[in-house]
Amino acid sequence: MGTPITMGSEGLVVPNDPIIPFIEGDGTGPDIWAAAVRVFDAAVEKAYGGERKVAWVEVLAGEKALDETGSWLPDETVEAFGKYLVGIKGPLTTPVGGGIRSLNVALRQILDLYACVRPVRWFAGVPSPVKEPQKVDMVIFRENTEDVYAGLEVQSGTDEAKKLIDYLKEAFGWEIRPDSGIGIKPMSPFGSKRLIRAAIRYAMDNGRKSVTLVHKGNIQKFTEGAFRNWGYELVKEEFADVAVSWEDCGGDPGDRILVQDVIADAMLQQILTRPENFDVIATPNLNGDYLSDALAAQVGGIGIAPGGNINYDTGVAIFEATHGTAPKYAGQDKVNPGSVILSGEMMFRYMGWREAADLIIEGLEGAIADRTVTYDFARLMEGATEVKTSEFGDVVIAHM
């Protein structure tokens, strides 16, 4: 049956038989999950010789949930992720029409998964549009609960929009075109600091040398600019013994972690021109959305980009495929399962099962180096052998 993971005073307490809920996903999700879960089980078996084994429990969301329960996101699914702390999911369809804007957004907000964590690195042999993709090795911490992601909007032409426009003119003297739609961009010291705190702690735990705060504070001084300022405050308040700002060290942090900041538009240039200068990135939501997809493109595309949504205080974390459902390929056993496989690698590392995580990396590196890959890579790699989704899982296991 398995044993639940719990949260102790020192962090996660993971039994040898943890219950891990999963959502296989919509569209290509079932194909991807079937390959990925075999990779996960094989890595755990090889790493621990049968002493550890995951107790997988399926929970429902998306089209499968709607068909079976009448709900896109049943309460039981949210409760399972909250109860068992660590879970994983495939891609989900965004419902059309009113109600839930996005199932992914709903899960993150209901469970307060404030850190969207995206590691981005290149695997040797993966086709890339840049000359030196090996220089990209970053981990993005994107704030998940505030900024435009909060979804506080009123539609153009509605009574709500008129009322808000009138209020803003009366209270603040702001002249806003009367036919405008309006979005509110809340950013708080609490939300910003807990995200930046998680990024600095990650850098400490993983031997990373710098944390870069990415913002648009030159224009949005009281939101994005405040994010930057709150980050530097946090360094002095909580991390002065292990981290230091660029201003306080002149760019020479010694044996401490360097905390610096870059304007968002300049950052999108610099990840192309000098990616080796960046390590861990902490940023508000919208900047992180742009950066994570731009960086994924540099190392081979979002098809193999992993992601995790984590609350480091409660321990609740959901790891996920970062790509869409690709319904036209559903059931064809064709697409690349790399995003979910690497998200599982992130999950095991988060659980402290580093040996299993290392085997997954070894297997994936071996499969790609052997040029035995799914169609998306095969069409771009000279001398490649194209395999199905399920076969790619077998190849990864064989290279562990």
Three-class secondary structure of residue 393 per DSSP: helix
Neighbours of 97 (CB within 10 A): 5
Closest CA to 273 of 301, 246, 298, 306: 298
DSSP 336: -
- What is the spatial distance between Cα 42 and Cα 38, in angstroms, rounded to a whole number? 6
Annotate 197-224 with DSSP letters as a single string: HHHHHHHHHTT--EEEEEE-TTT-TTTH
- Choosing from 64, 89, 216, 334, the catalytic residue is 216
- What is the spatial distance between Cα 146 and Cα 192, in angstroms, rounded to a whole number? 9
Q: State yes or no: is 163 an active-site residue.
A: no
Taken as a whole, the chain contains a residue count of 400
| Helix, strand, coil % in the chain, rounded to nearest 5 | 45, 20, 35
Q: State yes or no: is 216 an active-site residue.
A: yes
- Choosing from 84, 149, 232, 350, the catalytic residue is 149
DSSP 3: B
- What single-letter amino acid sits at 311? N
Q: State yes or no: is 265 an active-site residue.
A: yes
- Choosing from 26, 147, 261, 289, the catalytic residue is 289
Q: Directed axis angle between helix 264-273 and helix 285-298, to 10°?
A: 10
DSSP strand pairing (280-283 vs 210-215): parallel
Q: State yes or no: is 137 an active-site residue.
A: no
Neighbours of 171 (CB within 10 A): 8
- Choosing from 17, 112, 137, 265, the catalytic residue is 265
| Residues designated catalytic | 149, 216, 265, 289
